[in-house]
Amino acid sequence: MKIDIPRQSRASNDEALVRDDLESDPFKQFERWFKQAQQSDELEPSAMSLATTDNMTISLRTVLLKYFDLQGFVFFTNYDSKKSKAIMANPEVALLFPWLKMERQVKISGRAERVSTKESLKYFASRPKDSQIGAWASQQSSHLSSRQILLSQFDKMKNKFKNGAVTLPDFWGGYRVVPHTIEFWQGRDNRLHDRFEYARSDGEEWTISRLAP
């Protein structure tokens, strides 16, 4: 079976990505674009695709960026999940921010490292209580025979913590993706897109190169 995808018309895009306008530090460039994405009508600017491989199988899913700093990009998850097991086997990962309405992408390759327990606890404490309980209730990536089992476990955990603070699970925490390369992609007319890649050398300096679309 073959299903043709109709060509969609699109407005002309005159927005250019120019080398002289780029920040020398990719984190500052990301901050600039991320703020613009937040101010636009992108549905969820912090949503990023996370690709992992355990050296046998490649997996892809969407997670949420919770914050970033000069070291990398941080997300949180269950350490017993499939993604965590893949990272344990091979910490080299890739991220993609698809800001489609702005015709922009940010592509990141790097190494995923666990954040400290202190850092995980600080973020966990900022979550709504029901979200904290949800972390306890779900054995992420395990098989369920029904949704009711999940809801029953949630109710059980909610009752357990009804009179006090929810503690940080020892199986839950954050990863920081420390980038080797960060690419900024700006859509242009006639598929002649602007692409610039920041690559980190051994001396911790970033070099910037234009890539062919």
The C-alpha angle with vertex 206 and arms to 203 and 207, in degrees rounded to 5, equals 115
Q: Is the pLDDT of residue 59 over 70?
A: yes
Q: Which helix (H) or strand (E) holds 208?
A: strand 206-211
Which class would CATH give 21-127+169-211?
mainly beta
Q: Is the pLDDT of residue 41 over 80?
A: yes
pTM over 0.75: yes
The average pLDDT across 172-193 equals 96
Domain ranges of the chain: 21-127+169-211
Q: Is the pLDDT of residue 40 over 80?
A: yes
CA atoms in the 13 A half-sphere facing the CB of 61: 13
Catalytic residue among 191, 195, 200, 210: 191
Q: Is the pLDDT of residue 5 over 90?
A: no
Q: What is the pLDDT of residues 48-57, one digit of tens each?
A: 999 999 988 9
Phi, psi of 42 (to 5 degrees): -60, 135
SS3 label, residue 173: strand
Q: Is the pLDDT of residue 198 over 90?
A: yes
Q: How far apart are CA 12 and CA 32, in angstroms?
A: 23
Q: Is the pLDDT of residue 10 over 70?
A: no
pLDDT of res. 1: 82
Is 104 a residue of the active site?
A: no
Q: Is the pLDDT of residue 60 over 60?
A: yes
